[in-house]
Structure 1
Amino acid sequence: MVAQGFVVDLNKPLVFQVGHLGESYQEWVHQPIVSKEGPRFFESDFWEFLTLTKWWVIPIVWLPVVAWFFSKSIRLGHTIPEVAAMVVFGIFIWTLVEYSLHRFVFHIKTKSYWGNTIHYLIHGCHHKHPMDGLRLVFPPAAAAVLSVPFWNLVKFMNTPTTAPGLFAGGLLGYVMYDVTHYYLHHGQPTSEMPKGLKKYHLNHHFRVQTKGFGITSSLWDKVYGTLPPTELEKKSK
């Protein structure tokens, strides 16, 4: 595709190409290519490997960490029901984090070389190739790095005994988010709730990409007025 005189060659590694699109990057990245075959990101096999993650790696890596933080609050004197309540609250907080990251970070407008490049790595690639099954969940190495400031923030805002339980809930919320996100793209739900959630999310990809930022629920879209219009509302405009 030609943008500002630059041709993106889909047969070559993409990451260091997309920055050259400049202001045309936003239009380019939101024109999806619907294929289960993902693009190559890097020339280096090592860096390419780090971008590829099977969905089942997420619960295998992070659920033991969730269990460890859960048990730590118990070891520090809380009962199981108390820690369970902390976990539920942590999951609730995660839903707000999920919405905020998706809306204000993943959908930030960029036009500089490095802005486009970084945006493509963290989320633009998903909108360009929404069915790439190996880049739908967050690589554990990157998630581990990002979890450190989140853990420090939770410790700063809570007591030493409650912080582990709350962090366990937030981390469990993240695991639920990542596996749900994969399922919404590649699963075939048969019951009404997951069917509705899949339709809601694919609507964000293929119809109204500036609305519908919730993944595991539409709660915060309702709170902050970013629900996508219904087909009826769309026809009435």
Structure 2
Amino acid sequence: MVKKPFTVDLDKPLVFQVGHLGEAYDKWVHQPVVSKECPRFFGNDFCELLTRTKWWVIPLVWLPVVCWFVSTSIQRGLAPTQAASAVAGGVFIWTLIEYSLHRFLFHMKTTSYWGNTLHFLLHGCHHKHPMDRLRLVFPPAATAILCVPVWSLFKLFSTPSTTPALFAGGLLGYVIYDCTHYYLHHGKPSVGLSQTLKRYHLNHHFRVQSKGFGITSSIWDHVFGTHPAMRATGKSR
């Protein structure tokens, strides 16, 4: 008897279903469901709540942290102009981190049950349901976990007085990224840079998912040869 391929029931909690797709997961997750409805991830209400974050939580939580790290560098003897330069450097470094995470972690290929499940939670859910308002930004707890290796990296390559301001810049870059990402999906830019970025990002979602990994900038796509050939997507929303 030929075994029927597994089919995900979109009317039931998704997370513990997607692992059963196996090798079919990558194709399935890149067939978007364009709806503003928020799909159910978990049967447990508390776990479900942890997956949902409003966009304004990101600046509310992290901008005070950015300010605290900058003030720490100044207290350690860094001049305000030096702190500002370190923050700017951190923002620039973030653009490379943003690109690298999106390309190599968020778009890694998985086929195992737990690989598919974790990938869906990390980024696959966003490609499957790109208009889900409550899962467009990272929950603060997940961001805090990712901050640990970033802080350790900055600490390794900079001085004790510079590290906090440099890290603050990276964190500020993240806040800009998450808010920009939300706006590109749910804002309605009509002209200028924001319209270009929206078109660029929708091209990544609906046409060429293997290119166009930059969100706030396409600079690293140009550098590493992943800049897609652009055309109108017809998907602007």
In the alignment, residue 148 of structure 2 is paired with which amino acid? V
5 Å-filtered alignment, 1:1-237, equals 5-231=5-231
Which secondary structure does the structure 1 equivalent of 2:226 belong to?
A: coil
Normalised TM-score (structure 2) = 0.95
Contact 2:106 2:122 in 1 (8 A): yes
Separation (CA, whole Å) in 2 of partners of 1:115 and 1:213: 21
Separation (CA, whole Å) in 2 of partners of 1:207 and 1:85: 38
Contact 1:55 1:179 in 2 (8 A): yes
Separation (CA, whole Å) in 2 of partners of 1:205 and 1:21: 21
Q: How far apart are residue 24 of structure 1 and its match?
A: 0.3
Separation (CA, whole Å) in 2 of partners of 1:179 and 1:148: 21
Identity over aligned pairs, percent: 69
Separation (CA, whole Å) in 2 of partners of 1:132 and 1:47: 17
Any gaps of 5 or more consecutive residues in structure 2? 233-237
Contact 2:200 2:230 in 1 (8 A): no
Inter-CA distance 181–43: structure 2 relative to 1 (3 Å threshold): same
Normalised TM-score (structure 1) = 0.95
Q: How far apart are residue 123 of structure 1 and its match?
A: 0.3
Inter-CA distance 130–152: structure 2 relative to 1 (3 Å threshold): same
Q: Which residue is equivalent to 1:235?
A: none
Separation (CA, whole Å) in 1 of partners of 2:14 and 2:184: 25
Structure 1 ranges of 4+ moved more than 4 A: none
Separation (CA, whole Å) in 2 of partners of 1:30 and 1:23: 13
Q: How far apart are residue 153 of structure 1 and its match?
A: 1.8
- Superposed CA RMSD in Å reads 1.3
In the alignment, residue 133 of structure 1 is paired with which amino acid? R
Contact 1:212 1:221 in 2 (8 A): yes
In the alignment, residue 92 of structure 2 is paired with which amino acid? F
Separation (CA, whole Å) in 2 of partners of 1:204 and 1:169: 27
Separation (CA, whole Å) in 2 of partners of 1:23 and 1:191: 41
In the alignment, residue 39 of structure 2 is paired with which amino acid? P
Size of the alignment, in residue pairs?
230
